[in-house]
Amino acid sequence: QKEVEQNSGPLSVPEGAIASLNCTYSDRGSQSFFWYRQYSGKSPELIMSIYSNGDKEDGRFTAQLNKASQYVSLLIRDSQPSDSATYLCAVNMWDQAGTALIFGKGTTLSVSS
Amino acid sequence: DGGITQSPKYLFRKEGQNVTLSCEQNLNHDAMYWYRQDPGQGLRLIYYSQIVNDFQKGDIAEGYSVSREKKESFPLTVTSAQKNPTAFYLCASRNLTGTGVNGYTFGSGTRLTVV
């Protein structure tokens, strides 16, 4: 069974704090991992991708990957009210027919000013 | 500008009717995908296609059908067999060539309501 698990939240943090979002996945063979941000009623937008163990930083965002633990996380530093959204973790998984992204249910982040 | 176009943005359907959602991309992407999203839920995979004239079932294909006659187009038909079709439908595409695995580009979505 291909599964991606996230805490649904809501995760509430004050403006300027660090928000930490977590994700676990079932397929040990997965190699590619993505974080999407989705505002209510809109389509998801890609904010980070990570392929290797360790950290990947892009501005205020840091993605962390630990393949041995099957764990991916997203840190948002200096959180802003505009960061309030649902964050979707997605993992590329293969089956006999091909490859597709499997999404978690998303974590809702609320940043208060 | 390149992108994915989904139409219509809002669609209302009577129970028992089939309806087709359009998805067109001009990104020259190989693969196209259809997802369904219900309130408070993540995206669930309906169908995907990696090459023209070939497509694969996702996790919730029952009650849906697709075609891939052109690389640019991947329409989704919601049939009367789909018991609960009211949802937000998202189309996505990506390139399968090159190194690594790319993320998706998403369309803006179609919100289908059964009345």
Chain A contacts to B (CB-CB under 8 A): 2, 4, 6, 8, 31-32, 34, 36, 42-46, 49, 51, 88, 90, 92, 97-106
**Cis status, amide bond into B8, omega within 30 of 0:** yes
What is the spatial distance between Cα A64 and Cα A71, in angstroms, rounded to a whole number?
A: 8
CA distance A52 to chain B (A): 11
B2-13 pLDDT, tens digit per residue, is 799 999 999 999
Contact at CB, B100 and A101, closer than 8 angstroms: no
What is the spatial distance between Cα A47 and Cα B99, in angstroms, rounded to a whole number?
A: 19
Q: Which of A70, A60, A66, A67 shows the shortest CA–CA distance to A20?
A: A60
Residue A9 — very low, low, confident or very high, per pLDDT cuts 50/70/90?
confident
Contact B54, B68 (CB under 8 A): yes
> A47, A101, A102, A108: best mutation site toward chain B, by most B Cβ within 10 Å?
A101
What is the spatial distance between Cα A34 and Cα B92, in angstroms, rounded to a whole number?
A: 14
Phi, psi values for residue A82, rounded to 5°: -70, -10
Per-residue pLDDT of chain B (115 residues), as tens digits, is 679 999 999 999 998 899 999 999 999 999 999 999 998 788 999 999 999 999 999 999 999 999 999 999 999 999 998 989 999 999 999 987 765 567 889 999 999 999 8
B54-69 pLDDT, tens digit per residue, is 999 999 999 999 999 9
Q: Which of A36, A42, A100 sits opposite B58 (nearest CB)?
A: A100
Only one residue has tokens 């590329």, namely A92
Q: Strand, coil or helix: what is A107?
A: strand
Contact at CB, A44 and B108, closer than 8 angstroms: no
Conformation bin of residue B103: beta by default, left when phi > 0, alpha when psi is -120 to 50 = beta
CA distance A5 to chain B (A): 10
What is the spatial distance between Cα B99 and Cα A52, in angstroms, rounded to a whole number?
A: 14
